């Protein structure tokens, strides 16, 4: 169960990061509300997960999911550049996350 909560929390990290950008420095109400809700849920889930999964593993997986998810969102929706080097770096992050999970 802790792994499911951790994965959902990582996805919520992507949500709050993208909502933060959409809030335009907290000048837009609904993206700001989404940011705060997703942030609270994401942190709460991480807090739960670290009680069942070693801190370094849980945090690494959480940040990795959030970083990759946010980068992919940026490329797919916001027009961030898609280059072979960027995709390779994202694969390295994914490899590290999978490695942390497998070596847990």
Q: What's the Cα-to-Cα distance from 21 to each of 2, 15, 25, 49, 69, rounded to whole Å?
A: 29, 10, 7, 27, 14
**DSSP H helical ranges for 23-54:** 29-49
pLDDT in tens, 2-60: 999 999 999 999 999 999 999 999 999 999 999 999 999 999 999 999 999 999 999 99
How far is it, in rounded angstroms, from Cα 56 to Cα 103?
12
């Amino acid at each position: 169960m802790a792994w499911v909560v951790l994965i959902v929390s990582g996805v919520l990290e992507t949500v709050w990061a993208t909502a933060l950008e959409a809030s335009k420095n907290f000048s837009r109400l609904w993206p700001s509300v989404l940011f705060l809700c997703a942030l609270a849920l994401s942190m709460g889930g991480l807090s739960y997960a670290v009680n069942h999964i070693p801190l370094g593993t849980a945090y690494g997986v959480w940040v990795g999911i959030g970083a990759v998810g946010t980068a992919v969102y940026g490329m797919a929706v916001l027009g961030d550049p898609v280059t072979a080097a960027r995709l390779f770096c994202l694969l390295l992050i994914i490899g590290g996350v999978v490695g942390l999970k497998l070596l847990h």
